[in-house]
Amino acid sequence: METVRHLAAHLGLDLVAVGLLTFAIYYPRHRRRDLVPAYLALNVALFTVVAALAEVGGNGGLALGFGLFGVLSIIRLRSDAVQHEEVAYYFTTLVLGLVCGLPHLAVGLAAALSAILLLVVYGADHPRLYARSRRSVITLDTVHADPAALRADLARRLGEPLHWTVMEIDYVRDLTVVDVRYREPEPGTPPRAEAAERPVRQATAPSWETV
């Protein structure tokens, strides 16, 4: 009975932690409902595996290690479907399930470690952190032979370019595809063209980069 109460305490802590991560931090910021059940199911499934393996293998040991390796190896993150910040939520979900699922770890210590994880994710993905920094892949209806002219065009269309890479140049259709990171102008201020003489660094052709 004591083991059941101990496991229930860890499960309750895990559900509270992953609930805060999913419903209080992730969803209000990213609004992707399709990933909510993925986070919850992944976390609870990992908690179940950890708790079962730890119970069978005492304090864990070799069986726990191989079991966790098998669980983690089946998780695939497609870069075209999951953004980098969402990968952070995936790994935090995994770690919360690991920490809260270990029955031989004190509940107080597990709660403290979970709180640290939640605070780090809350701060690292806060909307006010680099609030005006953006990334876009855009197609321009022209080909710029001069990187300074390209920078001025990006500044006129988007805002202050921070870094860009030319991904494709099509001389037949007169198109340029650019992956650009930029800073949005202040609200109410239209994008302004910047001076072309600002120093730029040309990378290996046909890509240009600036830092």
Determine the Cα–Cα distance for residues 101 and 110; give it in Å rounded to an integer. Answer: 9
For residue 114, what pLDDT is reported? Answer: 87
Determine the Cα–Cα distance for residues 92 and 180; give it in Å rounded to an integer. Answer: 28
Q: What is the pLDDT along the chain (211 residues), one digit of tens a residue?
A: 667 787 788 888 888 998 899 899 888 887 777 778 778 877 886 787 677 666 655 555 555 566 566 655 655 555 455 666 677 787 788 888 878 877 777 888 888 888 888 887 888 777 776 677 788 899 999 999 898 999 999 999 888 888 888 999 999 998 999 988 888 887 766 545 443 344 333 333 344 444 3
Query: φ, ψ for residue 29 (rounded to 5)?
Result: -95, -35
For residue 152, what pLDDT is reported? Answer: 92
For residue 175, what pLDDT is reported? Answer: 92
Shortest CA distance to 54 belongs to which of 35, 68, 41, 44? 68
Chain centroid offset of residue 50 CA: 25
Q: Are 151 and 200 in contact (CB under 8 A)?
A: yes
